[in-house]
Structure formats: structure tokens, C-alpha cells
Amino acid sequence: MKNTFKSIDEYFLLFSEEIQIKFEILRKTLHSQDSEIEEYIGYQMPGFKYKDKPLAYFAGYKKHIGFYPGPEAIRHFESEFKNRKYKFSKGAVRFPLNEDLPLDLIEKVVQLRMMEIEQKKS
């Protein structure tokens, strides 16, 4: 699939200001986890890499933000997603637009993904 967006900022412009604010919060939360986290566009979505490996992606939809940390992270946090009543699938979780982002949970997911990447590198 060919990328049509040149940057994450360009992707953000497709959405309302309210959603752009949520995107920025999510973006800052990801970057705050480690200085080595880099941005890119992958699969037509904002993506983040850690040590040159995909860390997570997110995308905007009509009623939610899809967060894509991969199947291992989803399995690991499945009970927490259920407890917080988030819809999820094999590789994604949905954060409703009418609710605050669960930044504590997102941070835990990102930390797990970083640990997975570190373990695979060694």
C-alpha cells in the first residue's frame, strides 16, 4: 500500500480540531515513554518505531480512535480492556471519542511493546 500522507501532521488535518487534540495527546504520550521513539506513516496511519521496529499505530474513525500495538500486547491487556469496557480485536483496541484517552493504560501497553522489542533484539 502506497503512503499518501507525508507526515503525521498531514494525517491529523483530515480530522476535526477536537479529534486532533486527542491525537496530539496520544502522540505526546507515546513520545514521553522514550527519546528513541520515532514517528512515521505506515499502513496509511500514524506509526511509531522504537529501535527501528514498529511499536504502535493509531487511526481516527467516526466514533473512536483505533490503537494498534500488535496481538501480543492485546492479549496481555485483554482483561484490562474488558474491565474498562473497550472493544478490542486480535491486534487493536478502540478508544471512544466521547471519553478521555486512558493514558495510564496506553503507557503500560507502550512499555510492554518496548520491552518486547528489547527482548527480540538481544
What domains can you pick out in the chain, each with its CATH number? Answer: 8-121 (3.90.1150.200)
The pLDDT value given to residue 79: 96
The pLDDT value given to residue 3: 54
Alpha helices in 7-88 (DSSP H): 8-12, 17-31, 71-76, 78-83
The pTM for the full model equals: 0.93
Query: From the first residue on, what is the mean pLDDT of each consecutive set of 10 residues in the chain (122 residues)?
Result: 79 95 97 96 95 97 96 96 96 97 98 95 74
The SS3 of residue 13 is: coil
The SS3 of residue 90 is: coil
Cα→Cα distances 119→76, 92, 112, 113, Å = 16, 22, 11, 10
List the grid coordinates of 17: 480540531
